[in-house]
A = this chain, B = another copy of it.
Amino acid sequence: MCLPACVAQLASRRSFLRKAGAVTVATAAAPLGAQKQPEQAKRFSFQRTVDLTHTLGPHFPFPVDHAFSLERISTRPKDMWNINRWHFHEHIGTHIDAPFHCSDGDTADRIPAEKLVGPLAVIDIRDRAAGNSDAELTPDDLKAWERRHGPIPAGAVVAMCSGWDARVNDANQFFGRDARGGFHTPGFHVEAVQFLAQERSVIGIATDTISLDPGNTGSFPVHHFWLGQNKWGLENVANLGQLPPSGAMIVVGAPKVAGATGGPSRLLALMGEEQK
């Protein structure tokens, strides 16, 4: 997560970053199959890659200042290479919360690779969230999805699609700021993630908002329960609305940084040929 309680201790060094990252969506057909291919290469042909990642830069909405900077340390043609150094907060941009962010569980580098790939169940609450910035994804939403699409598969990632990614160009809109500066963003209800932990076998959850918890929840029950199960969460996910409710596979390019509590991640959704 990164709502104010997460970064309050840093506020003196930071301020709002008001502009937002550009969103790139890859919809072109993958070029596989354009020539004769060995049999093995065909096995993984797929039709489409959807980028679930916002572009990260100093403009990305974040509650405190100086959360991201690029330091150019070499520039062509004066130097042979263009090179930057990165300086940033682990929980900015489209990113993963590792269990260690608020538990004694795995740091980002210790999440097993096979726990970073799985079928994606997209729970669409856009209609409800459009009229209520405090909307929550509940167990009833999960059960309604299952009535249509079958049981949430083992090894799945369950994503809340609230439509919040469209607000990323305006920090106040993205945070759902009220007159007192409070946050109002949709999130998971703790009973929904308890259901997923206890009744289903899910590797991670994802949201297109800045926090797994609803923004108006000061105690962060979803973070504490879910990460406390040694499971991970994704925040600030882009383009979930472009995916079908079922049928995509997500590959989570989580940083393999020793000791990281999470970090910016490249999220790619693969769409099979069956999606034609």
Contact = CB atoms under 8 A, between A and B. Distances in A.
Interface of A: 1, 5-7, 9-10, 21-22, 24-26, 28-41, 43-44, 46, 48-51, 53-57, 59, 70, 73-74, 76, 79-91, 93-94, 100-102, 109-110, 112-114, 116-119, 149-151, 153-156, 201, 203, 220, 244, 246-249, 251-261, 263-266, 268, 270, 272, 274
Nearest to A259: B70
A116 to B, nearest CB: 7
B256 A54 contact: yes
Contacts of A32: 118-119, 153-155
A261 B57 contact: no
Contacts of A25: 113
A113 B76 contact: no
Contact of A73 (B9, B110, B117, B220): B9
A267 B57 CA distance: 22
Contacts of A247: 40-41, 43
A208 to B, nearest CB: 15
A101 B83 contact: yes
A81 to B, nearest CB: 5
A274 B113 contact: no
B82 A268 contact: no
Contacts of A54: 256
Contact of A56 (B24, B79, B256): B256
